[in-house]
């Protein structure tokens, strides 16, 4: 009886977990049907658009014809699709290589560790 209860509890906990997304799947979906351009040091920011987390080391920005992908030099702890991304940009009008970013978890008041942006690679629909 006890073994049956343990098996039932394990099955219940597995049914509540999120499905595992293969590494790189979000990046492949964002860039599907697009052609990569030369890396850029900075891109203009637009208040109506948000940075999106693809994985702990990759961000996407933009929509429509061109999407910019940023591969951070290293994985950023706490960076997930549910967190708010805080960008410490020098002029506030551009996102540039070496700008510092931090992730803020929902309900938290103190952001996570500081990470830095890499170059921006534009992916454009032909």
pLDDT tens digits for 33-66? 999 999 999 999 887 788 899 999 999 999 889 9
Q: Which pLDDT band holds residue 99 (cuts at 50, 70, 90)?
A: very high
Q: What are the pLDDT digits (tens) for 2-11?
A: 544 445 454 5
Written as one string, the DSSP assignment of 9-58 is HHHHHHHHSPPPPPTTHHHHHHHTT-EE---BSEEE--TT---EEEETTE
Instruction: Give me the phi and psi of 89, to 5 degrees please.
Output: -90, 145
CA–CA separation, 123 vs 94, rounded Å?
18
SS3 103: strand
Q: Residue 90's pLDDT is what?
A: 77
Q: Residue 50's pLDDT is what?
A: 82
User: For residues 59 and 70, is the Cβ–Cβ distance under 8 A?
Assistant: yes
Q: Which pLDDT band holds residue 73 (cuts at 50, 70, 90)?
A: very high
The pTM score is: 0.78
Q: Which pLDDT band holds residue 22 (cuts at 50, 70, 90)?
A: low
Q: Residue 1's pLDDT is what?
A: 52
- Spell out a b/e string for 71-87, using b for 16 or more CB atoms within 10 Å of the CB, else e: bbeeebeebeeebebeb
Q: Residue 125's pLDDT is what?
A: 93
């Amino acid at each position: 009886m006890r073994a049956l209860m343990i098996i039932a509890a394990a099955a219940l906990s597995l049914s509540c977990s999120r499905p595992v997304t293969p590494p790189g799947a979000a990046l492949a979906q964002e860039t599907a049907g697009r052609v990569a351009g030369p890396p850029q040091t900075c891109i203009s920011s637009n208040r109506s658009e948000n940075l999106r987390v693809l994985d702990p080391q990759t961000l996407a920005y933009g929509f429509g014809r061109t999407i910019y992908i940023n591969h951070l030099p290293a994985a950023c702890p706490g960076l997930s699709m549910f967190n708010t991304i805080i960008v410490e940009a020098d002029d506030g009008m551009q996102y540039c290589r070496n700008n510092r970013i931090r992730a803020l978890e929902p309900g938290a008041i103190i952001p996570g560790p500081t990470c830095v942006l890499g170059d921006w690679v534009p992916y454009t629909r032909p």
